Amino acid sequence: MSGAMLSVEQAELIIAVAEQVLIDGATLDRAYSKVFAGKRLASSDQALISSHAGALLRKLNYYAAVAEVNLPIAPAQLQSLVAVYFQLHQLRSPAIRIQLSDSQLNERVAQLQQYPALVDGCPEWLDILGQQQLAERWPAERAALAAEPKRYVRANLLKTTTDKLASRLANEGISSQAVVNVATALEITNNASLFRTESYNDGWFEQQDAGSQMVAEVLDVKPGMRVIDACAGNGGKTLAIAAMMQGKGRLLAMDVEQWKLDNLKKRAKRAGAHNIETRLITSSKTIKRIAMSADRVLLDVPCSGLGVLKRHPDTKWGDTESRLPVLAELQAHILGSYSRMLKVDGILVYATCSIMPSENRAQVQRFVTEKPQFELIEDSTVWPSETGFDGFYWAKIKRIAE
Ligand SMILES: C[S@@+](CC[C@H](N)C(=O)[O-])C[C@H]1O[C@@H](n2cnc3c(N)ncnc32)[C@H](O)[C@@H]1O
């Protein structure tokens, strides 16, 4: 990534993505789709721009400190910020005017080394939260969450095997390697585009972090079961569950956003997952109507996203801190209310893409204390520092009585 010459257009597009996120308040995913829309960019260009925009946002406060500009950033100061990023990574472009001499840059960098949280791109509120919640574990997680995310795919076992997928991808110019302890996962080890391949069109894989694949496995579904994925979103975990059910049994994917369920349906069609039914949650009645009906329930609840900051660094610079209490209430509500859909002896998995105990074990412990008909069997956190994956938490809960 370092030492390259970027064209005017490439540099301007990096700035445009940063502007969307930092000035217009867009999520990073939304910023990419807005900035790339209508441009006939090569996939290698898109990868390059995303890689630099992501890296810039992962350590935004550090680059801002080196550039001596304040956050939230004013539009007129974006250039100075990007100039520092370019200079630190030895990038050049006719569109970017380097403003500091090398000795000024080195002096500022040396001064800032005494602030390790800043060097890891961690805002102050998050550093305080991480220390409170994770104590001595936090510095390693903080550093791991500032790393560039790896790319993983999940082999769709409804259509292929992990080995067959790896060789077909190799024929399509995509190199990959197996992932220890996650049988369906392949790590993609070059920058080739995944979504213009025949194997993608044929539904042989989905892009999905290996940690997310682990969470879907915990649900331990069997063909023929009645399974509910109640916060299904676009269906990342739904599709993994469908493959484990081998097309047998019923899988109900629910969410409060119809557009996400519509996306899920399209993905399910490509994946050949025919046992998925989608249902919009419009009120508490949607849940009540199917009380005690499921052998398995997955509650992949809305969360802070503080485990997936590598991929979504924009989370650090928006309103996440102020949303934490609202999210906690929603998580407790979903766990308390949606658990009613589980049959006696059924298994519920509560999951988040956060590594903070307040959203995780604390929620689960409160729930099982208030509802003795449920029992915590086992829980675990997928730590980014130990796995290199995104951070997740899961808890396996059994219903032992009505
Ligand atoms: C962490 S995301 C789910 C990600 C998805 N399971 C996946 O693996 O791709 C949480 C989802 O919960 C949904 N959600 C928010 N409030 C909800 C509610 N009250 N009931 C059900 N789903 C809700 C959001 O729309 C979002 O899609």
Per-residue pLDDT, averaged over 13-21, amounts to: 97
pTM: 0.97
Residue 302 CB–ligand 1 contact under 6 Å = yes
- Find the helix or strand (DSSP H, E) in which 197 lies: none
pLDDT band at 351, cuts 50/70/90?
A: very high
Per-residue pLDDT, averaged over 285-302, amounts to: 98
Per-residue pLDDT, averaged over 363-368, amounts to: 98
pLDDT of 180: 96
Per-residue pLDDT, averaged over 130-152, amounts to: 98
Per-residue pLDDT, averaged over 209-232, amounts to: 97
Fold of 151-207: Alpha-Beta Plaits (3.30.70)
* Closest Cα to atom 3 of ligand 1: 233
Nearest to 376 by CA among 393, 390, 391: 393
**Residue ranges of the domains in the chain?**
8-114, 151-207, 210-399
DSSP 1-13: --S-B--HHHHHH
Fold of 210-399: Rossmann fold (3.40.50)
φ, ψ at 122 (rounded to 5°) = -100, 120
Q: Tell me the pLDDT tens digit for each residue of 63-78.
A: 999 999 999 999 999 9
283, 324 contact by CB (below 8 A): no
In angstroms, what is the span from residue 127 Cα to ligand 1's centroid? Answer: 26
The answer to whether 303 is a known catalytic residue is: no
Query: pLDDT > 90: what percent of the chain?
Result: 98
**Cis before 94? omega within 30:** no
Rounded to whole angstroms, the Cα distance separating 269 from 365 reads 38
Residue 372 DSSP label: T
Q: Confirm whether the ipTM is greater than 0.90.
A: yes
* Closest Cα to atom 27 of ligand 1: 233
In angstroms, what is the span from residue 10 Cα to ligand 1's centroid? Answer: 34
Q: Tell me the pLDDT tens digit for each residue of 249-279.
A: 999 999 999 999 999 999 999 999 999 999 9
> Looking at the predicted structure, is the pLDDT value of residue 1 above 60?
no
pLDDT: is 192 or 279 the higher one? 279
* Strand runs labelled E in 17-156: 151-155
Rounded to whole angstroms, the Cα distance separating 54 from 318 reads 15
pLDDT of 138: 98
Q: Which atom of ligand 1 is nearest to the CA of 215?
A: 8
Q: Tell me the pLDDT tens digit for each residue of 78-131.
A: 999 999 999 999 999 999 999 999 999 999 999 999 999 999 999 999 999 999
Helices and strands: H and E segment counts in the chain: 18, 11
pLDDT of 3: 72
> Looking at the predicted structure, is the pLDDT value of residue 320 above 70?
yes
271, 243 contact by CB (below 8 A): yes
Low-confidence winner among 2-16, 257-271, 349-363, 372-386 (lowest mean pLDDT): 2-16
Q: What is the number of other CB atoms lying within 10 angstroms of the CB of residue 342? A: 24
Per-residue pLDDT, averaged over 159-176, amounts to: 98
Mean pLDDT, the chain, as a whole number?
A: 97
233 φ/ψ sector (left φ>0, alpha ψ -120 to 50, else beta): left
> Looking at the predicted structure, is the pLDDT value of residue 2 above 90?
no
In angstroms, what is the span from residue 232 Cα to ligand 1's centroid? Answer: 6
Q: What CA–CA distances, in Å, run from 233 to 84, 137, 229, 264, 281? A: 38, 31, 9, 7, 12
Contacts of 27 (CB under 8 A, 6+ apart): 21, 312, 314
Residue 234 has, within 13 A of its CA and on its CB side, a CA count of 6
Q: Identify the bridge partners of residue 53 per DSSP, sorted by sequence position.
A: none
Query: pLDDT > 70: what percent of the chain?
Result: 100
